[in-house]
Structure 1
């Protein structure tokens, strides 16, 4: 399932633990445009204590990060292809991505599988790397506001400070600076 997960993360920029919590009833591959609705998040074992004081196993929480409302994403072709293949493997009931026992896949296991699959020179790539990449690409093509909406951030500052790669190459402004240096600045 790793290739399909990566394809959907790279095509949407959604949070990995929210993608792992997607159920098939939140995926509509036949609508125009096709959509995926995020309605919950997978919580890894050891992060939440149960009533008996012991850590709960990996489970689905029926709300998104910070209690955010459901978020529907329009799916690009790569995500549609990956999810269409998943329908063939798992059917159209229950969760989209599961562990080998049929339970919820943990983010820790996704990270481990990704590390094992990547060559050493790409060891810096994490499941959240795709979120940052999508934010940077969307910002570059459509602007910060569209990236904010794609990532479902309440404030554009969150998108800008934490997800969009900072430009480190200045634009070609030689003509303006040459005019300035020669004393021929436009007013």
Structure 2
């Protein structure tokens, strides 16, 4: 079982490296020619955001493969050598939330304010910080209000039926069977 988990760890590391390299390739290939050799922080944020998005999607098959390690366990301690998927999921969700609510808005304001390097740069830094803090406060308020007031009551009705019901139709009724089934269905 340890060999399987070692192979899974190696595959996970290789896939993460390939995802980062692919996203760097995408950024270099599709960036605007005027942005070549400048604005490295927003480019890093773009590569990191795309990579986290791809890794969060690719973690589902890794979680399934990790759970399969315990299926054919010969001894009881075999499941102790699996990847800590709960911690990995939590880390991905936290990094995703920090990127969405703090880092990406900061990078956007930074990129917009980085256009001219004059004496206005000090004022632009203040606007950058104010814009980022305002975005974080608005997002925190919206999420907080939705979390606190997000109670929904669903009316649930229980429906039961026999597993198989047999209905006998005559020859003439069989002609109208598609229309009858549509009416009953709707």
Q: TM-score, normalized by length of structure 1?
A: 0.21
Structure number with higher helix proportion: 2
Q: TM-score, normalized by length of structure 2?
A: 0.21
Higher Rg: 2
